Structure 1
Amino acid sequence: MTDKPKTLQLKAKAPAERPAAPRAPVRPRGPARARPLSEVKAERAAREAAWAAQNPQGDTAPRRPSEAPRPSRPPRDTRPDLARVGNVRGEIRLNKRMAELGLCSRREADEWIARGWVLVNGQPAVMGQPVPPDAQVEVLPQARHQQAGQVTILLHKPVGYVSGLPEDGHESAAVLIKPQSHWRDDRSDRRFEAVHTRGLAPAGRLDIDSTGLLVLTQDGRVARTLIGEDSGVEKEYLVRVHWAPNGPKGAGVVTQDVQAVFPAERLALLRHGLSLDDQPLKPAQVDWQNPEQLRFVLREGKKRQIRRMCEQVGLHVVGLKRIRIGRVMLGNLPVGQWRYLGGDERF
């Protein structure tokens, strides 16, 4: 009996495990050691010398990323700040100077400067330019021609219209400036044109409950004269009042012969001694026009000034009409109608 060959089964021996190499002890991290500057310079010099030996053509050695040149910054604007320089030298902006000279308004001055219609000491002006007080400011004929076409309108404003932009459902008084309401006795030689209604602005306010003379103008010089910071133009009013020491709806309201019961010391307060909005008011002329009506002459124009003044002394205003601004009178101009300011009229 033949024996079957034995299958030789070999078992692979597992490789002998090698002992792990000892690891270096982990050092605690600390702040990086700063290299001396002399060492850094010496290393850089050696690297550049080696590069020069290998590159006789004289190419510049490449820099490490840390040594790459910084990107150049955009150049700084070295132009002087005109406003700041002007303040240092005691100068003022050209548009303000032109307004002080009575040439035009500041807004108008900016428009003329932008169009090249203004010269300073013979040179074209630039926007925002500061000028000394003795600078020679010249306006070209184009600006004078434009200014000559501007109009100033005198309107007898009715009650119920606001002086400026429409508000609270009330129309602006400017809507009354139309051919149908042009006073037929206007002595001006101007003829109505649609352009005369563009850019009209009120030079001073008149309350919605008040009537009388309202000035609407396209001319910045007129506006500055009447409502500028240093304006002292007189405004005259007729004011109908009730004596109401306990308020207009309180007891003891006097509607007839108010002059007889109104204390003299309170009339003196109306003339001088009152304040509005924590600011003392300028002296005013206040006198009785008749037993129920006062005549006010003011040189300032705070919001609802006369009504608020009267409230402080126990008077209730029931009617207010402006009859004069400077030397210009309301005269016989009918309510709701208007006329042009004459060429020979000045405020």
Structure 2
Amino acid sequence: MTAPDETQAIRLSKRLAADLGCSRREAELYIEGGWVQVDGRLAEEPGLRVRPDQQVQLQSGARAEEAPPVTLLLHKPPGYEAGLGGIEPGAHASRSRGAPEALTLLQPDSLHAEGGPPVRVLQRHFRQLQCHTPLPTEASGLVVYTQDRRMARRLAEDIETLEQECIVQVTGRIADGGLQRLCHGLEFNGRALPPIKVSWQSEQRLRFALKGIRPGQVPAMCAAVGLSVVALKRLRIGRVALAPLAEGQWRYLRPWERF
């Protein structure tokens, strides 16, 4: 059998433009939009080299349109670095050395089965993602990654005013009147804290709902009433909740969802 002549291979976008009689830009949009197959397999890279003997096919219903930016919601497990690092949701401390990036968990096969993407899953959805909802390496829970500049700006500007809900696992014996003090009456870094919603979920689990969380704030609050933080899990940012994602799973932010 004669080996394929790779010297005759050309860019997929050039081949598609010639086959369709369209512009190179239109061909790139078809390819990047996930509408093109090479030898029966999806090809999303305009620069892919294809030979004359290979079959290039445009799927029915194809549209030469810019794919809109997406926002992804991830359930980060403990031990992964997310966003700007820190000790508490909202923190801006340095990264933990050696911790893997939570961004690497965003893969097509870890999409939540019932999350129902608003668009088809494309490789371009996992590029140029930014996180403005940092979560400490040792914590778990909801983290948001986005390609949308407007969403990124909104999160960066509003993260201090969005209410975040966390479940905090603790050890120790709470001081008399400690729950009331957690809700209102404690100081942090020399400043009185505003009223905070804190309630028991079980004998060792507290629910916090608060805004403008500062680095180390929740551990310091717990320590002030005789408790030590063992684990922290973020369940909600604004109106967007973590459920039903399992650890390591992600889904798309739906068009109608708002933080």
TM-score bracket for this pair, using the shorter chain length = 0.5 to 0.7
Runs (4+) of structure 1 exceeding 4 A deviation are: none
What do residues 101-148 of structure 1 show as CA deviations (whole Å, max 9, x unaligned)?
xxxxxxxxxxxxxxxxxxxxxxxxxxxxxxxxxxxxxxxxxxxx97x7
Answering whether residue 78 of structure 2 is matched by residue 149 of structure 1, we say no
What CA distance in whole angstroms lies between the structure 2 residues aligned with 1:224 and 1:307? 29
Q: Which residue is 1:310 aligned to?
A: 222
TM-score after normalising by structure 1: 0.49
Query: For residues 317 and 190 of structure 1, what CA distance do their matches in structure 2 show?
Result: 40
- State yes or no: 1:184 paired with 2:121: no
Q: CA deviation at 1:333?
A: 0.7
Tell me what 2:171 maps to. 242
Cα deviation for residue 336 of structure 1 reads 0.4
Q: Tell me the SS of whatever aligns to 2:170.
A: strand
Tell me which residue corresponds to 1:162: 81
Is this contact kept in 2: 1:204–1:301, CA < 8 A? no
Bigger shift: 271-280 or 332-341?
Answer: 271-280
More helix by share: 1
Choose the corresponding residue for 1:174, options 98, 103, 108: 103
Which of 245, 255, 263 is 2:175 aligned to? 263
Question: Once the 2 structures are TM-superposed, how far is the Cα of residue 321 of structure 1 from its aligned partner?
Answer: 1.1
Indicate the structure with greater strand content.
Answer: 2
Asked if the contact 2:73–2:145 (Cα under 8 Å) also holds between the matched residues in 1, the reply is yes
Task: Classify the secondary structure of the residue corresponding to 1:228.
Answer: helix
Residue in 1 that maps onto 2:11: none
Q: 1:211-290, aligned counterparts within 5 Å?
A: 211-228=140-157, 231-243=160-172, 261-290=173-202
Q: CA–CA distance in 1 between the matches of 2:100 and 2:159? A: 30
How many Å apart are 1:330 and its aligned residue? 1.1
AA in 2 matched with 1:265:
G
Instruction: Give ranges in structure 1 of 5+ residues lacking alignment.
Output: 1-144, 244-260
CA distance in 1, matches of 2:128, 2:250: 17
Cα distance in 2 for partners of 1:271, 1:333 equals 29
Larger RCO (CA under 8 A, 6+ residues apart): 2
Gaps of at least 5 residues in structure 2 are 1-64, 85-94
Which residue of structure 1 aligns with residue 211 of structure 2? 299
Pick from 326, 329, 333: which aligns with 2:238? 326
* Counterpart-to-counterpart distance in 2, 1:229 and 1:275: 23
- Tell me if structure 2 keeps the 8 A contact 1:282–1:299: no
Q: Of the two, which has the highest radius of gyration?
A: 1
How many residues align structurally? 185
Tell me if the contact between 1:155 and 1:213 (Cα under 8 Å) persists in the aligned partners. yes
Q: 1:284 to 1:223 in 2, by over 3 A?
A: farther
